[in-house]
Amino acid sequence: MLTINLQTKQVQIFLLSYTLILLFSALFILPVHDTYYYFTWSQKLQLSYLDGPPLIAYLIYITTYIFGNTFFAINIISVICLLGSGYLIYQILKDNQNTQAATIGLLIWLTYPFASTRFIITSMTLDGIEATTSLLIIYFVNKLILSNNKKYIYLIGIAVGLSLIAKYNNILLIIALIIYMLSHKTYRQYLFSYQFIISIIIALVIFSPVLIWNYQHDFASFKYQLHVHDWTGSYDEVNNKANYGIKGIFFYLVSCVLGTLHVLLITLWYLLYKHNKQTLSPIVKICLFSSIFIFTFWLYKSYSAHIGLNYMLSLSGLLIIIIASLATTYISTKKIWFFILLCATISTIMQVDRSIVHDRDSVDYAKYVLNGPLTRPFAK
């Protein structure tokens, strides 16, 4: 009989096998252009950088110190982020539902090719770290709500601080959570406690390197991030004045949302329709509200700015939590297993393709591998 539970041998074998595939692929997967860019950050550590916060640079510095200047040293960060964020999804669902829902959430997250694989495993950038730290926030919020133990507010402060030195986009989740808690009497108490004030201080201390760097550089990073993706800007790779307005919104909905979240959105719609007006667990409600808030903000912003497909990664994590919490009731185990195996197959093919050097004469490959500091098996 097919089951989906972390305690069963079939799930353990699948999980072990897929983890080994991830680790083996980490030896060969070619960094994207942005990854090479962040590697140069790690060669000259600063408090922060013009193009983003510093956590990724320090992680690359640590892993290259341990494993040398290798592809594995860079790609292992992606593997850790994927497995770590998967663990958080598992624990969130286990605490609210059961081990079956938790296992479903874990396996979908690990294998979903259009978000997790595309934007974490096959491209080590800020996005994987953003997704992990955003789920860390949700994990501690969930612990706070279930236990009513205000010590978790301090841990939320730590998670918030880490999320802000991972990627600025995490501010949207933070704002969404504050709005949600303010609007619910049960949770409002947390925002008016002394623990909350201390947690703000903790987050600011962790975020202080970014604040100091920006103060020293006339807040250049904040100003840059506010306008770098504007359709009418001058950043040639993403700016296109012709997309300003309705075309930009259309691009966001079709390319970003549907291009990344299509299967998740269809599944979510079906599950919510079947669930009708039945009660959702508190954390599922929070994930749903946060998803709608983040989606709406980017929808508004897409009128005047380019919204990348990778911006949907953290949103996909929230959606998977919602889907997994309902899937066991309305979708058969056989169909869920089929979907997971299909996702794993597609994701493995993507990893293989990304490990093949299609253009040995590319500027990045020549500069960083053939004639540079990074080494890769069979590179020459």
Average pLDDT of the segment spanning 8-24 = 94
Average pLDDT of the segment spanning 261-266 = 94
Average pLDDT of the segment spanning 50-54 = 93
Whether 233 has a pLDDT exceeding 70, the answer reads no
State the pTM of this model.
0.94
Q: Which two tokens stand for residue 104?
A: 């479903």
Which range, of 47-51, 205-209, 375-379, averages the lowest pLDDT?
Answer: 375-379
DSSP SS3 for 305? strand
Structural domain range at position 189: 10-219+228-370
| % of residues, the chain, pLDDT over 90 | 74
Please report whether residue 375 resides in a domain.
no
Average pLDDT of the segment spanning 281-297 = 95
Which range, of 216-225, 232-241, 307-316, 365-374, averages the lowest pLDDT?
Answer: 232-241
Whether 350 has a pLDDT exceeding 70, the answer reads yes
Say how many C-beta atoms besides its own lie within 10 A of residue 203's C-beta. 21
232 and 239 Cβ atoms separated by less than 8 Å: yes
Q: State residue 255's pLDDT score.
A: 87
Number of domains in the chain: 1
Give Cα separations from 40 to 28, 56, 290 (angstroms).
Answer: 19, 11, 34
Residue scoring higher pLDDT (379 or 294): 294
Average pLDDT of the segment spanning 106-134 = 95
DSSP SS3 for 49? strand
Whether 266 has a pLDDT exceeding 80, the answer reads yes
Confidence of residue 360 (pLDDT cuts 50, 70, 90): low
In the block, tokens 């869920």 appear at 336
Whether 286 has a pLDDT exceeding 80, the answer reads yes
Give Cα separations from 356 to 30, 100, 288, 372 (angstroms).
Answer: 8, 36, 39, 19
Q: State residue 231's pLDDT score.
A: 78
In terms of DSSP H, where are the helices of the chain? 9-25, 33-43, 55-67, 71-96, 99-111, 126-147, 151-164, 171-182, 185-191, 194-216, 220-227, 246-251, 259-275, 282-301, 313-330, 333-355, 363-365
Helix, strand, coil shares of the chain as percentages rounded to 5? Answer: 75, 0, 25
Question: Cβ contacts of residue 270 below 8 Å, gap of 6+?
Answer: 330
* Interval 17-38: pLDDT, tens: 999 999 999 999 999 989 999 9
What's the chain's average pLDDT?
91
Average pLDDT of the segment spanning 159-169 = 97
CA distance 113 to 282: 28
Counting other chains too, the contacts that 288-294 makes at CB distance below 8 Å and 24 or more residues apart are 288/318, 288/322, 289/176, 289/180, 290/138, 290/173, 290/176, 290/177, 290/180, 290/318, 291/315, 291/318, 291/319, 291/322, 293/172, 293/175, 293/176, 293/179, 294/172, 294/173, 294/176, 294/318
Average pLDDT of the segment spanning 209-223 = 94
CA distance 159 to 165: 10
Average pLDDT of the segment spanning 69-92 = 96
Average pLDDT of the segment spanning 357-372 = 73
Please report whether residue 186 resides in a domain.
yes
Q: State residue 342's pLDDT score.
A: 96
DSSP SS3 for 70? strand
Average pLDDT of the segment spanning 305-323 = 93
CA distance 200 to 202: 5
Confidence of residue 243 (pLDDT cuts 50, 70, 90): confident
**What letter would DSSP give residue 306?**
-
Whether 167 has a pLDDT exceeding 80, the answer reads yes
289 and 180 Cβ atoms separated by less than 8 Å: yes
How many residues are recorded in the chain? 380
CA distance 185 to 170: 25
| % of residues, the chain, pLDDT over 70 | 95
Q: State residue 1's pLDDT score.
A: 47
Q: State residue 368's pLDDT score.
A: 79
Average pLDDT of the segment spanning 116-142 = 96
Q: State residue 93's pLDDT score.
A: 96
